[in-house]
Structure 1
Amino acid sequence: MSKKLFLETLGCAMNSRDSEHIIAELHEKEGYETTDDITTADLILINTCSVREKPVAKLFSELGVFNKKRKEGAKIGVCGCTASHLGEEIIKRAPYVSFVLGARNVSKITEVLHKDKAVEIDINYDESEFAFNDFRTSPYKAYINVSIGCDKACTYCIVPKTRGEEISIPIELILREAQKAVERGAKEVFLLGQNVNNYGRRFSGEHEKVNFTELLRRLSAIDGLERIRFTSPHPFHMDDEFLSEFASNPKICKSMHMPLQSGSSKVLKDMKRGYTKEWFLNRVEKLKALCPEVSVSTDIIVAFPGESDEEFEDTLDVMRRVKFDQIFSFKYSPRPETEAEHFTNVVDEDVASMRLTTLQNLATDILDEKNKMQLGKVYRVYFEELNQDYFVSGRSDNNLLIKVKGSDELLGEFRNVKITAIGRTILSGEVVG
């Protein structure tokens, strides 16, 4: 009988891809099969996030639950970003944990598995050329890393301390991985990196030097690959060449994630984001002029230390002018080993909560107004998921989540869908071609 692996993933798409790598390595080299029943698992893993405080608190809460539910002899391992920055402290606080594996050390999973109380958290370890075995959660879409680590110095962000310096993955490896995914049925690839459009800045060896725009061109030449998505690009690196390729290349999905973080140039400077409110608005204006059908999503932090009422109003001003299609918004959360952790001009918690509510209410109003215009429109949808009650869901080119009545025969297929009903998170429609 095969051994059973239970794996819970917290956080971003890069964590999800790391989990796929872990599953592949454990399957090929150790004979593990995944299970959703934790009580039957021989190995229990949690792949963690440390971007905000809540996921860190959730880690130890989850570990306690896992320890109670695990069968006798089952091992528990902690992986990911929180593993990178807490290291041995995890085992001190939860002695039943068998090993800790950092976000930059995924390829060592089969090593630490056999070393009791192993702690592998070297953020300078280079996995950019490691040939992971192949496993994908979905046969219809392939997540592909184009870089590891981050060289930015945003004062609020712990990622450089958990994932190390930025190294680009050689283009030949990316193209080979994409080609293999297409041969196995995927029609869409999703490129991942902390700052994807900074691709090519540094490689670990002698490799062809290409930038992200050229990478997109090369990928789009793969026969059978119909859609290319990516996250997250950095506003600072959104030059005219990149925006032009995005708008003109028919294989690139017309959905852009542009992390604003704040609409105040003063706060952006304090965050060390490298751009101003004016630069961000200029890039959005340029993007929408080249590609009117584009949807734009963003990340926003409210109540960063020192943020005044006027500076918060700058963020609301950008919201009203851009009219984002989706926002991911949070109150500022101090993270260890960051510069902002030591900032003393903390915004009052009640004020922070009020600002977050105001921002989210505005975002809802904008979305509701946009959704009114969706009724009757027709979108080309790529179906990826079978839902309950005989619905199948997928996404349009500009990233709208759309469901229709149907069966698994639609999975992996493109269909034209006319929108018939509106919801805030998902639209409903009928297949018209």
Structure 2
Amino acid sequence: MATSQSVAFYTLGCKLNFSETSAIGRQFEDKGFQPVAFEAGADYYVINTCSVTDHADRKCRKVVQQALKHNPAAFVAIVGCYAQLKPEEISNIPGVAAVLGAAEKFQLADTIASLPRPAAGAPGHVRASPISAATEFHPAHSFGDRTRTFLKVQDGCDYSCSFCTIPLARGGSRSGSIASVVARVEDLAAQGVPEIVLTGVNLGDFGIQGPERERREDFTQLVAALDRIKGIRRFRISSCEPNLLTDEILATVAASRRFMPHFHIPLQSGSDKILGLMRRRYRRDLYAQRVARIKELMPHACIGVDVIVGFPGETDADFLDTYQFLNELPISYLHVFPYSERPDTLAPTLPGRVQDRTRHERTTQLRSLSEKKKRAFYEEHLGQETEVLFEDDVRDGRMEGFTPNYIRVVAKYDPLLVGETRALRLSAVNAQGLMEAEEVGILV
């Protein structure tokens, strides 16, 4: 289908959402649509939503309003996790023309031009099957916007954490085959992509495939297969549950020259009582063992941690357990989230609601601890020589890059550095908390 119509995209939420928006965008381009900037007044707008971030409804409404501000006659389609969870609610947002669920969103480019525009004041069209219909794995990757490419290799989740809506929004765990992932990586390598970040909802659960959802492969096998591909300089593992981060995976990464010594491991709480209420599949001892094993194999590894504070039933003593546990662990930074009630989850029904003010105070304390941990991690590496891969992200005449263990390095902008790796000596942590670096005898 040839068309001269334009399309713009907006993504809320995680890197997985960004990779899927990129994939949907390429489908539109294949159909002849012209991608344009959001503010350009597109004929069609596609908004990819999230259910994890706070105020999903408010954020969705605001983006819709801004789209219609740029083109009041635009056709606005909503996809993503929030679209699966609340399709009827979203369809009643003024200006929304269509809402597509998890099983339908990758058909949007094929169908959007044939969807009739709703009558004035009428709700948008809803095409959202029950989440049980979302059984197919759709590969996706981001491309062209940064040096790093985010590659989706897994989707959905079979866990039932009491605070999480992801299984309701994305369905059960499913993956492509290792052979299909390898083929996509080889294609990206041929396009000159230097770094790939593996993404998924429950990445360590990779390997469930087919309509019968059989476990045919596992994440360790995937890591080993990708490590043999020579065209990619760097791989990173975006996030992996501690109970799925096995010794075999760690040993493979430790022996690899392509997989970076950088791990992001969700903890959520340092209190075993709270972990039980959250229905997490591990306790703090296992988490501490995983961190210790990483540091044993890779002493310079960067370890990031997700934490939720203010979960129902979390007392001051429980929070102190979490704080002390994190303070004593050799971790590098924290992503801290105040607990937020999600409809259709178990957690809001639990006793012991924590006041919003207390949630905020605890969040502030852990974010301060994160800054302390990050600076200490950076300072441990002062004077060391390492390699920095620079990104195409320029602000105020400065550009940034990352070491293998995810130290953010800032340098004077040089177009020849974009996408290139340079051997540098880490020299100082500046007032913004970024690492300054220099070549031997030459300031970058």
The two structures share one fold, judged by TM-score above 0.5:
yes
Which shows bigger deviation, 150-159 or 380-389? 380-389
Contact 1:104 1:162 in 2 (8 A): no
Which shows bigger deviation, 196-205 or 79-88? 196-205
Q: Which residue of 2 aligns with 1:198?
A: 205
Contact 1:8 1:45 in 2 (8 A): yes
- Please give the alpha-carbon distance, in whole angstroms, between the structure 1 residues aligned to 2:146 and 2:349: 45
**Aligned alpha-carbon RMSD (Å):** 2.3
Tell me: CA distance 1:348–1:135, structure 2 relative to 1, closer, same or farther (3 Å): closer
CA deviation vs aligned residue, 1:304-341 (integer Å, no higher than 9, x gap): 00011111111112211224312111111010111112
Provide structure 1 residue ranges, at least 5 long, that are not aligned to the other structure.
none
- Please give the alpha-carbon distance, in whole angstroms, between the structure 2 residues aligned to 1:13 and 1:104: 19
- Please give the alpha-carbon distance, in whole angstroms, between the structure 1 residues aligned to 2:215 and 2:273: 39
Structure 2 counterpart of 1:14, one-letter code? L
Tell me: CA distance 1:208–1:299, structure 2 relative to 1, closer, same or farther (3 Å): closer
Structure 1 counterpart of 2:80, one-letter code? G
Confirm or deny that 1:232 pairs with 2:233: no
Name the SS of the counterpart of 1:236 in structure 2. coil
Confirm or deny that 1:83 pairs with 2:83: yes
Tell me: CA distance 1:425–1:402, structure 2 relative to 1, closer, same or farther (3 Å): same
Q: Which residue of 2 aligns with 1:23?
A: 25
Structure 1 counterpart of 2:20, one-letter code? D
Alpha-carbon deviation of 1:208?
9.0
- Please give the alpha-carbon distance, in whole angstroms, between the structure 1 residues aligned to 2:187 and 2:208: 26
Provide structure 2 residue ranges, at least 5 long, that are not aligned to the other structure.
117-123
Which shows bigger deviation, 272-281 or 241-250? 241-250
Confirm or deny that 1:99 pairs with 2:107: no
Matches for 1:4-403 after TM superposition, within 5 Å: 4-29=6-31, 31-67=32-68, 69-92=69-92, 94-113=93-112, 114-116=114-116, 117-122=124-129, 123-126=131-134, 128=136, 130=138, 136-138=143-145, 140-204=147-211, 209-403=216-410
Alpha-carbon deviation of 1:425?
5.0
Alpha-carbon deviation of 1:361?
1.8
Contact 1:167 1:204 in 2 (8 A): no
- Please give the alpha-carbon distance, in whole angstroms, between the structure 1 residues aligned to 2:273 and 2:138: 41
Tell me: CA distance 1:411–1:98, structure 2 relative to 1, closer, same or farther (3 Å): same
Tell me: CA distance 1:326–1:337, structure 2 relative to 1, closer, same or farther (3 Å): same
- Please give the alpha-carbon distance, in whole angstroms, between the structure 2 residues aligned to 1:193 and 1:75: 30
CA deviation vs aligned residue, 1:14-41 (integer Å, no higher than 9, x gap): 0000110111011101x22222252421
Contact 1:84 1:103 in 2 (8 A): yes
Tell me: CA distance 1:375–1:104, structure 2 relative to 1, closer, same or farther (3 Å): farther
Alpha-carbon deviation of 1:119?
2.0
Runs of 4+ in 1 over 6 A off after TM superposition: 205-208
Alpha-carbon deviation of 1:128?
4.1
Alpha-carbon deviation of 1:363?
1.9
Name the SS of the counterpart of 2:45 in structure 1. strand
- Please give the alpha-carbon distance, in whole angstroms, between the structure 1 residues aligned to 2:353 and 2:334: 24
- Please give the alpha-carbon distance, in whole angstroms, between the structure 2 residues aligned to 1:168 and 1:319: 33
Contact 1:129 1:170 in 2 (8 A): no
Contact 1:145 1:192 in 2 (8 A): yes
CA deviation vs aligned residue, 1:68-121 (integer Å, no higher than 9, x gap): x132431111111111111021112x1421111234433111244122333233
Structure 1 counterpart of 2:70, one-letter code? R
Count of residues in Structure 1 that have an aligned counterpart in Structure 2: 429
Contact 1:324 1:363 in 2 (8 A): no
Alpha-carbon deviation of 1:62?
2.4
- Please give the alpha-carbon distance, in whole angstroms, between the structure 2 residues aligned to 1:43 and 1:127: 28
Name the SS of the counterpart of 2:106 in structure 1. helix
Superposition TM-score, scaled by structure 1 size: 0.92
Contact 1:267 1:311 in 2 (8 A): yes
Superposition TM-score, scaled by structure 2 size: 0.90
Alpha-carbon deviation of 1:384?
2.0
Structure 2 counterpart of 1:109, one-letter code? L
Structure 2 counterpart of 1:49, one-letter code? C
Tell me: CA distance 1:256–1:342, structure 2 relative to 1, closer, same or farther (3 Å): same
Alpha-carbon deviation of 1:295?
0.5
- Please give the alpha-carbon distance, in whole angstroms, between the structure 2 residues aligned to 1:53 and 1:334: 9
Structure 1 counterpart of 2:344, one-letter code? E
